[in-house]
């Protein structure tokens, strides 16, 4: 019964975090909800493609990394790097491809931030609802996690204080990183700033790479889950000033433009920036 209550509180917490994030940015930017849905759609397509295409390759590659070297550090760093790069290739790669086709996505930083936030919030909503469904079915409070990883997670939960708070905190951290990585890629592509694009890919690679490294390290189930959140927290703390900078430097309002007119007016601004 305690596990069910913990899962219920955690799932509601994830939904609340997602809702607060969207409502906050909606109030700050006045952005239309359709741009949040664009981010949600990009996330959905990327996750489907990743599930269909990367599964067999990931299993083979992680097996190769494990057998290629005797060093534990090699297993951890190599496995984490591959997981991070693979995930970034699909999720941020699709965002990059989308803005190449439709530059409007990145010509207003507030819009780009909303798209990234929509992706992160929708992931939190999806996970929160998944846990709620599992609670209702009363079969498993860790949906999609079975076998040895599921046992390791259960063991980690047993040694984690305030475990009900872990998922909402993780989602808050992840939403910030989802948002900054996508905003950098969208704005950087629209304004031909390659270092912004590279930074966006790097942020996302770090977040998922840390999770992959934890799995490869064999420490899951032996340490508190809070140590994992502490490991990814610096990436979120770096992302916050990045988002503020994007908002102050690259938003339509910061440039004195009407958002609805930005795609036409900013064509001239792009030429000035490149000059």
pLDDT single digits (tens) 153-192? 566 677 888 888 999 999 999 999 999 999 999 999 999 9
How many CB atoms are located within 10 Å of the residue 64 CB? 11
- Rounded CA-CA distance 116/42 in Å is 9
223 to each of 110, 132, 220, how far by Cα in Å?
39, 26, 6
How many CB atoms are located within 10 Å of the residue 68 CB? 11
When the pLDDT of each residue in the chain is averaged and rounded to a whole number, the result is 83
Contact (CB, 8 A) for 127 and 171: yes
- Rounded CA-CA distance 102/96 in Å is 10
- Rounded CA-CA distance 29/253 in Å is 9
User: Tens of pLDDT along 57-103?
Assistant: 777 677 777 677 667 677 677 777 888 888 899 999 999 999 999 99
- Rounded CA-CA distance 11/127 in Å is 7
How many angstroms separate the first and last alpha carbons of the chain?
A: 64
Residue 133 has pLDDT above 80, yes or no: yes
- Rounded CA-CA distance 245/217 in Å is 36
User: Tens of pLDDT along 198-257?
Assistant: 999 999 999 988 888 887 777 777 788 898 899 999 999 999 999 999 999 998 766 666
Contact (CB, 8 A) for 50 and 149: no
Q: What is the 8-class DSSP label of residue 140?
A: -
216 to each of 86, 112, 145, 252, how far by Cα in Å?
15, 34, 16, 44
Q: What's the pTM?
A: 0.84
At 17 the pLDDT is 97
Q: What angle do CA 187, 39, 261 make, to 5 degrees?
A: 50
Burial 103-121 (b: 16+ CB within 10 A, else e): bebbbbbbbbbbbbbbbbb
Contact (CB, 8 A) for 186 and 31: no
How many CB atoms are located within 10 Å of the residue 8 CB? 17
């Amino acid at each position: 019964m305690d596990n069910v209550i913990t899962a219920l509180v955690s799932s509601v917490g994830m939904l609340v975090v997602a809702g607060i994030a969207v409502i906050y940015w909606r109030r700050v930017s006045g952005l239309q909800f359709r741009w949040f849905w664009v981010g949600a759609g990009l996330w959905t397509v990327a996750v489907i493609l990743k599930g269909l295409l990367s599964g067999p390759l990931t299993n083979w590659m992680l097996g190769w990394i494990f057998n290629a070297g005797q060093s534990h550090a090699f297993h951890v760093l190599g496995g984490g790097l591959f997981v991070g790069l693979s995930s970034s290739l699909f999720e941020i790669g699709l965002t990059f491809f989308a803005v190449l086709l439709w530059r409007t996505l990145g010509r207003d930083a507030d819009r780009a931030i909303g798209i990234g936030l929509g992706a992160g919030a929708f992931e939190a909503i999806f996970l929160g609802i998944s846990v709620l469904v599992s609670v209702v079915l009363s079969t498993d409070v860790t949906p999609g996690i079975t076998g040895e990883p599921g046992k390791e997670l259960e063991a980690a939960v047993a040694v984690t204080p305030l475990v009900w708070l872990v998922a909402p905190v993780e989602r808050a951290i992840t939403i910030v990183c989802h948002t900054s990585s996508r905003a950098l890629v969208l704005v950087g592509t629209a304004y031909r700033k390659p270092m912004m694009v590279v930074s966006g890919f790097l942020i996302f690679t770090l977040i998922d790479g840390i999770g992959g490294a934890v799995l490869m390290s064999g420490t899951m189930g032996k340490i508190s889950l809070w140590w994992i959140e502490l490991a990814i927290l610096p990436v979120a703390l770096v992302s916050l000033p990045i988002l503020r900078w994007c908002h102050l430097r690259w938003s339509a309002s910061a440039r004195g433009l009407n958002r609805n007119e930005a795609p036409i007016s900013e064509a001239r601004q792009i030429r000035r920036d490149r000059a």
